Amino acid sequence: MSRRVGRLSAAVALLAGVLPPALSHAVEINLATMNCARYENDMLQSNLPGYTTDPIDTVMWLFGYSVAKSGDRVMYGDSLRAYGFALDSECKSNPSSSLLVAATTVKSKRDNPMDLTRLDCATFETRHQNLRKADPESAATLTMWMFGYAVGLSGSHVLDAGLLEKFDSSLGDHCAQHPQDSLFDALSSANAAVPGLPLNPVPKPAPKAAAKH
């Protein structure tokens, strides 16, 4: 695990991006009704029927979700391990607590923030291609962070890893159409996999009044 987390830190430093996952997962996880005991014993141990998401990817999604809920507009590339251990400790101390509460209230160090508002989509897309070729596993895991972050922004509290490919495709489409947008703009804009976005929908123009004869 330590080697893979180290690769993820390096990947964030390169600012890699989206990569469609190899597998689809049909199980939806409602963070409000999933308690910490089941998170520890079922989700992370691959004992939850139908839920086959890699444990690191699960923690990465929750980390992105928690950062969004905190109001931060950054990615902490060196803090996945710290967050994962802090969440593990919180859940073992409070097994009946909901995963939603634990994931969004746990405190951990958050080092080396990368400002999502200062990275433009064009740069992001270029760098994602490089990471995709060099380390596809880390690229996919970073996409899980962004997916969790976008869901956190939307106000939802459902983890559905089966929508990762749709999320990835929609994010890529946005960046292709709006290369000058920041990555934060892209993550907070309409996405086919994240109901509730965009944060600030553009109002539709009022219908024109029928012409009088």
**Element containing residue 156 per DSSP (H, E):** none
Read off the tokens for 47: 């004992």
Instruction: State the pTM of this model.
Output: 0.82
Tens place of pLDDT per residue across the chain (213 aa): 555 555 555 555 444 333 333 344 458 999 999 999 999 999 999 899 999 999 999 999 999 999 999 999 999 988 999 999 999 999 999 999 999 999 999 988 888 899 999 999 999 988 987 887 888 888 889 999 999 999 999 999 999 999 998 998 999 999 999 999 999 999 999 999 999 998 754 444 444 454 444
User: DSSP secondary structure string, 14-70?
Assistant: HT------S------EETTT-BHHHIIIIITTT-STT----HHHHHHHHHHHHHHHH
**Which pLDDT score is estimated for 130?**
86
**Which pLDDT score is estimated for 99?**
98
CA 76 to each of CA 5, 13, 71, 97, 144: distance values in angstroms, whole numbers, following the listed order: 12, 10, 13, 25, 14
